[in-house]
């Protein structure tokens, strides 16, 4: 531009520069970046050096030398790196004619592409193998397995993912557990069905579409967003009040929060997902999401190589009339079984949506339910202070109550004061009873949804008073020993939890005791808030006998003071110690405590709690109040939820149907395989915890309740028995996720043909004698559908994240038990895992530590990605996807491929005949790996499996190559290659199919490796294994000794003399151990062994 060049005259030059920039961008993208997206300047300097010299000039010394001097090199962004590289171009071509400049740049572009090609040659080789293999699988339809009653079957599923975006590595980590299991079971000779659907029900898609529509309306299309409006950031919440903790489980960040983008606007979020700009506006229609993301998910899953029968895939909601009919049938069955009822129940509720907020509708607080409190009405004694009287206005003659939320009404006998937050802003609320309560604004909102004050979202707030104006007030507290107590300041109260008013029972609450003692000691604090000594003169009241270990009879009557003394708690700032004291006090009190006072005197605390609560409510001293156990945030509107009393349809889980609950609990205890005792314990806990579930909504996407079309079925309730739908879905989905547009002319089954009678026939229990219904569907087709269902069902395995134990998975058991009376049709096993991290850090879009499934497969290839996912870990703890593992896997796989080529080419040079020791040892190691890996695969321990079938096999081969004298044995090389293909096939199916095909004439393989037979007949020899391990360890020891330089002249040959018998002292030790084992069944301990050795005295003096 500085020389006056223009696009028209110098188009080829501009094109060359653009091509150069693209090449450099591709090369820079390949650099390893930290979590901020920065790369090492040293890497950049090396490329700039090559670029400069290719251009015929020396690079700037400062750029080359500085990174070498700096430890590790400084970091720069990829954008800065590109700028540094591009700056080499104008300096190198400034003296050239345009056509010469084009030639120079084209040469350099070719050099960059060459560098890029070398860097990724091995990976690209694997990707090419994977692409060709997938094309072959698809053309041969190898994943479409028919019913074959002569063979055993295996049916596994993964919960259909929600389609408001692309699949990411977290999805891949869990679904690969099912994928690995499916491929392994097929190698055992079973017919395998692994189907996959896509979930669209609920509020998230509808909420995002609505948000986008509002953005377009406000900012235009395309929108012009305000530049000075920053993306919203989550705020840190204050600590909860002590009353809000009580041992309840905390809510976790929901899936949406974990994937939260830095972008604020929905338009920007969609662009960040890779949606083309010209398509973004169409997402204002919620149905467009259903058309856009599921097909992309299928492409990504096919790239991952999953063994899915895609004929059976579908989307949910009434957009798919076939699945819609299935869900209606399911709920008609539940209604007929009296598992659904219309009732008023307390639910976690989204005010803006005007409906309950279930787990999948939340961005924060999954698993959190309503928490019942007792609101204690603590009467403020007249005359009221001026600030309160002014705020009350014409109600100043009425009684006014501080309403304190408590979980322990039985402790109200021990009140000495009431806590208020000095900086808090309290609202005067007119209750529907006509009384006036003083509470936080947040609690007033909750009350409006519970028929306590005003109407939903409109509590009757008529005044405000500061916390400081409420301090030092005389009170009449119900059940209190003292006629009058006072309000005192407490700085740790949260106005977002409870009512902002907290009762104080220092006898049984360690935090109350510590704060009360602090107030007694701190004259400065008392003076600051106008608290006189008369207000803190009250003695602590013993109310419950709590048999704490080590406590005297008197101390047991005052457990909080005793524990504070025992744990050396000096003041209320000892937060951790106070929490420990509280847990111990409440645990023992609830389990073994007995009341010392009141109407419940002599009763256990648990029984007394209910008695005292009912008594206080009956005497108008208290009311019942609810809040979410912890903070819950709805995805739609990003607002905090409340608890609301709503009339709607509920599934009667838990105590509402005790026989139903008992059936499911029995199945969990006796039949369901959870693969992990901790997982089983979580299911057992959920059975006791899960109660009535709000199964209907008034907004969002889904299926309408068949008997009450005002309501939609919510997203967790339409997802409990759909696994049965997979068994027949291919008969009517017609290759379309939404069923397409069927017509009778093309002889397709019509949606209206899927009546309740149709499903009742197809899905009847095995022993039910049912007749095919009168239907437009041919009788033969109906019978085939029933045959397929009875063949594939029950589901053998469902793989899921552990967070679904407390809802979806347990609900699935309930619904199976309701619809199929025969327990043999209920799920046989649930495998659950923890979350997956990337490079030992939590997956997060906001930090950049995030990877989609597509990105992983593009970056490492499919099999290396799958191998790293298998190696990431198993079980309920969080696992780790290590990118280094994926990178190293590329090298190991391609190196193995090259070695197989070498073996095939040198077959004539390989040895045959009898086995020597090392031949036998290698053969034995292959057998042992086959044995061990079968157990690992069967028990869903894929990390252990990969240690054997990949790392173990390669290590065994390398040991054999290093130690065997002369050439390798041809039979063992063939056995190794064949076993390597089969054993590794569940994890790396593309690569194994490639080797299987390439070595077919060498190892005698044919067809598909997935249809090979897992080597179950190979048996290992433990003694030979021990000998091999001994030699391996000895060899490593020798190398290590030589490598440390202790031996100055390193020998070329070492001769090892091995004794055939133990030395005398070792023989005696073995005899002693043998004798001990024969006598007691256990080895003796070291002390006993020493005594026996001294008797024998075998050691040289």
Give the residues across from 113 on adjacent strands.
Answer: none
Q: What is the mean pLDDT of residues 446-469?
A: 95
Quick one: pLDDT at residue 246? 38
β-bridge mates for residue 455, sequence order:
458
Residue 1055 reports pLDDT greater than 90? no
pLDDT computed for residue 1066 by the predictor: 84
C-alpha pair distances (Å), 20 with each of 2, 14, 50, 84, 102: 20, 10, 14, 13, 10
Residue 259 has pLDDT above 50, yes or no: no
Q: Are strands 642-651 and 340-350 parallel, antiparallel or unpaired?
A: antiparallel
Give yes or no for residue 7 having a pLDDT over 60.
no
CA atoms of 986 and 846, how far apart (whole Å): 34
Task: Give the C-alpha distances (Å, rounded to integers) separating 1041 from 911, 962, 1037, 1051.
Answer: 33, 18, 6, 12
Alpha helices in 619-762 (DSSP H): 658-670, 677-689, 723-726, 756-762
Is the pLDDT assigned to residue 548 strictly greater than 90?
yes
pLDDT in tens, 718-740: 999 999 999 999 999 988 999 99
Q: Indicate if the pLDDT at residue 770 is higher than 60.
A: yes
Cis (ω within 30 of 0) for the bond into 383? yes
pLDDT at 622 over 50: yes
Residues of the chain with CATH 1.10.730.10: 908-1036
Whether residue 63 is predicted with pLDDT greater than 60 in this model: the reply is no
| Torsion sign (Cα): 467, 469, 475, 480 | positive
Euclidean distance between CA atoms 836 and 172, whole angstroms? 10
For the segment 345-356, what is each residue's pLDDT rounded down to a tens digit? 899 999 988 888
Q: Provide the pairing of β-strand 75-77 with 708-713.
A: unpaired
Reported as a single tens digit per residue, the pLDDT across 1007-1047 is 999 999 999 899 999 999 999 999 899 888 887 777 766 66
Average the pLDDT over 631-635 and give the result: 88
DSSP symbols for 996-1048: HHHTHHHHT--S-GGGS----S----HHHHHHHHHHHHHHHHHHHHHHTT-SS
Residue 444, pLDDT above cutoff 80: yes
Three-state SS for 504?
strand
Calculate what percentage of the chain has a pLDDT beyond 70: 89
Residue 1067, Cβ neighbours under 10 Å: how many? 12
pLDDT class for 255, splitting at 50, 70, 90?
very low
Yes or no: say if 211 and 266 are a contact pair by the CB < 8 Å rule.
Answer: yes
Which has more confidence, 112 or 968?
968
498 Cβ contact list (under 8 Å, min separation 6)? 241, 243, 244, 373, 404, 405, 440, 443, 627
pLDDT in tens, 994-1006: 999 999 999 999 9
Of the pLDDT bands very low, low, confident and very high (cuts 50, 70, 90), residue 652 is very high
Contact 921, 812 (CB under 8 A): no
Antiparallel, parallel or unpaired: β 191-193 and 153-157: parallel
Assess if CATH 3.40.50.620 describes domain 908-1036: no
The predicted pLDDT at position 249 comes to 42
Residue 846 pLDDT? 73
The interaxial angle of helices 953-963 and 970-984, nearest 10 deg, is 170
CA 78 to CA 827: how far, in whole Å? 50
CB atoms within 10 A of CB 575: 13
Chain-centroid distance, C-alpha 5: 56
Residues of the chain with CATH 3.90.740.10: 370-628
Whether the per-residue pLDDT at 675 is higher than 50: the answer is yes
- Tens of pLDDT, residue by residue over 873-932, are 999 999 999 998 998 999 999 999 999 999 999 999 999 999 999 999 999 999 999 999
Length of the chain, in residues:
1101
Closest CA to 1028 of 970, 931, 960, 934: 960
3-state secondary structure 357-423: CCHHHEEEEECCCEEEEEEEEEEECCCCCHHHHHHHHHHCCCCEEEEEEECCHHHHHHCCEEEECCC
More confident site: 1093 or 827: 827
Q: Is the pLDDT confidence value at 258 over 80?
A: no
Q: pLDDT tens digits, residue range 160-210?
A: 999 999 999 999 999 999 999 999 999 999 999 999 999 999 888 998 999
What is the distance between the alpha carbons of residues 299 and 852, in angstroms, rounded to a whole number? 13
Taking only the tens place, the pLDDT of each residue in 8-46 is 556 677 778 888 888 777 777 666 666 566 776 766 676
pLDDT of residue 91: 62
Give the CA angle between residues 446, 451, 455 to the nearest 5°.
80
DSSP structure class, residue 952: I
**Helix or strand run (H / E) with residue 525:** helix 523-529
For range 110-139, the mean pLDDT: 86
For residue 604, what is the DSSP state?
A: B
Mean of all residue pLDDT scores within the chain: 88
370-628: CATH class:
alpha beta
pLDDT digits (tens, 9 = 90+) for 791-810: 999 999 999 999 999 999 99
pLDDT given for residue 51 in this prediction? 61
**Please, which pLDDT band fits residue 110 given cuts at 50, 70 and 90?**
confident
Give the Å distances, CA to CA, from 307 to 53, 144, 345, 588, 950: 50, 9, 44, 53, 21
* CA–CA distances in Å: residue 879 to residues 34, 484, 574, 837, 942: 20, 57, 34, 6, 12
pLDDT confidence of residue 229: 53
- Whether residue 76 is predicted with pLDDT greater than 80 in this model: the reply is no
pLDDT (tens digit per residue) in 810-860: 999 999 999 999 999 999 999 999 999 999 999 887 777 889 999 999 999
pLDDT in tens, 490-501: 999 999 999 999
Return all residues near 123 (Cβ < 8 A) that are at least 6 apart: 860, 861, 864, 890
pTM assigned to the model: 0.79
Q: How confident is the model at residue 660 (pLDDT cuts 50, 70, 90)?
A: very high
């Amino acid at each position: 531009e500085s020389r006056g060049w223009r696009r028209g005259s110098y188009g080829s030059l501009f094109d060359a520069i653009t091509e150069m920039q693209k090449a450099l961008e591709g090369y820079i993208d390949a650099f390893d970046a930290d979590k901020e997206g920065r790369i090492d300047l040293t890497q950049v300097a090396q490329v700039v050096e090559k670029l400069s010299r290719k251009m015929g000039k020396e690079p700037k010394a400062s750029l080359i030398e500085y990174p070498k001097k700096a430890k590790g090199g400084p970091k720069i962004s990829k954008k800065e790196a590109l700028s540094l590289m591009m700056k080499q171009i104008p300096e190198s071509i400034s003296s050239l004619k345009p056509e010469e400049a084009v030639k120079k740049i084209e040469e350099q572009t070719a050099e960059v592409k060459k560098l890029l090609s070398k860097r990724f040659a091995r990976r690209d080789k694997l990707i090419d193998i994977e692409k060709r293999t997938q094309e072959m699988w698809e053309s041969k339809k190898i994943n479409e397995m028919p019913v074959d009653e002569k063979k055993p079957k295996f049916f596994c599923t993964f919960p259909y993912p929600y389609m408001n975006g692309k699949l990411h590595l977290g999805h891949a980590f869990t679904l690969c557990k099912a994928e690995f299991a499916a491929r392994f079971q097929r190698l055992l000779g079973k017919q395998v069905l692994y189907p996959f659907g896509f979930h669209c029900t609920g509020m998230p898609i509808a909420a995002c579409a609505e948000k986008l529509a509002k953005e377009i309306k406000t900012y235009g299309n395309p929108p012009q967003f305000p530049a000075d409006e920053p993306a919203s950031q989550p705020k840190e919440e204050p600590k909860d009040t002590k009353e809000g903790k009580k041992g309840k489980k905390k809510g976790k960040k929901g899936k949406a929060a974990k994937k939260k983008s830095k972008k604020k606007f929905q338009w920007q979020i969609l662009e960040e997902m890779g949606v083309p700009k010209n398509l973004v506006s169409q997402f204002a229609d919620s149905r467009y999401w259903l058309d856009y993301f599921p097909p992309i998910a299928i492409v990504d899953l096919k790239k991952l190589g999953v063994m899915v029968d895609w004929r059976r895939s579908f989307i949910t909601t009434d957009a798919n009339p076939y699945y819609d009919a299935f869900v209606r049938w399911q709920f008609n069955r539940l209604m007929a079984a009296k598992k659904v009822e219309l009732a008023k129940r307390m639910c976690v509720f989204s005010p803006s949506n005007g409906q309950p907020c279930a787990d999948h509708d939340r961005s924060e607080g999954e698993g959190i339910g309503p928490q019942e409190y007792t609101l204690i009405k603590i009467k403020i004694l007249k005359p009221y202070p001026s600030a309160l009287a002014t705020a009350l206005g014409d109600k100043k003659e009425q009684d006014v109550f501080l309403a304190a939320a408590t979980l322990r009404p039985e402790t109200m006998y021990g009140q000495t004061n009431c806590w208020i937050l000095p900086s808090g802003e309290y609202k005067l609320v007119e209750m529907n009873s006509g009384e006036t309560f003083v509470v936080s604004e947040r609690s007033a909102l909750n009350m409006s949804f519970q028929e306590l004050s005003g109407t939903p979202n409109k509590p009757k707030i008529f005044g405000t008073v500061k916390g400081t104006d409420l301090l030092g007030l005389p009170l009449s507290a119900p059940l209190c020993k003292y006629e009058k107590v006072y309000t005192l300041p407490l700085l740790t109260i949260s106005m977002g939890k409870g009512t902002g008013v907290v009762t104080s029972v220092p006898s049984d609450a360690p935090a109350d005791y510590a704060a009360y003692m602090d107030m007694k000691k701190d004259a400065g604090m008392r003076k600051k808030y106008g608290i006189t000594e008369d207000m803190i003169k009250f003695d602590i009241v013993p109310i419950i006998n709590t048999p704490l270990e080590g406590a005297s009879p008197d101390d047991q009557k005052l457990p909080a003071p005793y524990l504070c003394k025992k744990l050396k708690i000096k003041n209320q700032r000892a937060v951790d110690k106070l929490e420990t004291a509280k847990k111990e006090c409440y645990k023992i009190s609830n389990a073994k405590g007995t009341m010392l006072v009141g109407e419940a005197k002599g009763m256990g605390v648990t029984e007394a709690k209910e008695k005292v609560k009912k008594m206080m409510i009956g005497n108008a001293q208290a009311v019942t109040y609810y809040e979410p156990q912890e903070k819950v945030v709805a995805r739609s509107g990003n607002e905090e939820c409340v608890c609301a009393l709503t009339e709607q349809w509920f599934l009667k889980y838990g105590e509402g149907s005790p026989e139903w609950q008992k059936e499911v609990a029995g199945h969990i205890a006796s039949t369901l395989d959870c693969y992990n005792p901790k997982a089983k314990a979580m299911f057992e806990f959920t059975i006791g915890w899960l109660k009535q579930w709000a199964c209907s909504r008034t907004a969002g996407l889904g299926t309408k309740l068949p008997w009450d079309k005002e309501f939609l079925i919510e997203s967790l309730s339409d997802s409990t028995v759909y696994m049965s739908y997979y068994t027949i879905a291919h008969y009517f989905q017609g290759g379309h996720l939404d069923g397409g547009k069927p017509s009778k002319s093309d002889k397709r089954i019509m949606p209206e043909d899927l009546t309740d009678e149709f499903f009742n026939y197809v899905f009847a229990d095995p022993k039910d004698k049912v007749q095919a219904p009168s239907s437009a569907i041919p009788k033969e087709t109906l019978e085939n559908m029933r045959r397929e269902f009875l063949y594939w069902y029950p589901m053998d395995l469902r793989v899921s994240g552990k967070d679904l134990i407390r809802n979806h998975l347990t609900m699935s058991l309930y619904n199976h038990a309701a619809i199929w009376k025969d327990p043999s049709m209920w799920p046989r096993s649930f495998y659950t895992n923890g979350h997956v991290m990337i490079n030992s850090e939590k997956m997060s879009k906001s930090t950049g530590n995030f990877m989609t499934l597509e990105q992983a497969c593009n970056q490492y290839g499919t099999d290396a990605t799958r191998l790293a996912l298998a190696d990431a870990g198993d079980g309920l703890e969080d696992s780790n996807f290590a990118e280094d593992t994926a990178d190293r896997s590329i090298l190991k796989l391609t190196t193995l491929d090259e070695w197989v080529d070498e073996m095939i080419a040198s077959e004539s040079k390989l040895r045959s005949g009898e086995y020597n020791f090392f031949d036998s040892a290698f053969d034995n190691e292959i057998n042992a790996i086959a044995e061990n890996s079968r157990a690992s695969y069967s028990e869903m321990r894929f990390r252990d499996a990969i240690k054997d079938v990949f790392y173990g096999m390669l290590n065994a081969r390398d040991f054999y190559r290093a130690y065997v004298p002369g050439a390798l044995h041809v039979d063992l090389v063939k056995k190794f290659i064949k076993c390597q293909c089969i054993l590794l096939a569940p994890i790396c199916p593309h690569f194994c199919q490639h080797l299987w095909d390439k070595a077919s004439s060498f190892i005698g393989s044919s067809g598909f490796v997935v249809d090979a037979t897992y080597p179950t007949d190979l048996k290992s020899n433990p003694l030979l294994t021990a000998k091999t391990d001994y030699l391996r360890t000895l060899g490593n020891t020798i190398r290590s000794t030589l490598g440390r330089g202790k031996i100055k002249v390193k020998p070329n040959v070492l001769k090892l003399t091995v004794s055939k018998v133990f030395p005398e002292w070792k023989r005696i030790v073995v005899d002693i151990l043998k004798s001990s084992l024969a006598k007691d069944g256990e080895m003796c301990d070291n002390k006993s062994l020493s005594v026996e050795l001294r008797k024998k005295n075998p050691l040289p003096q």
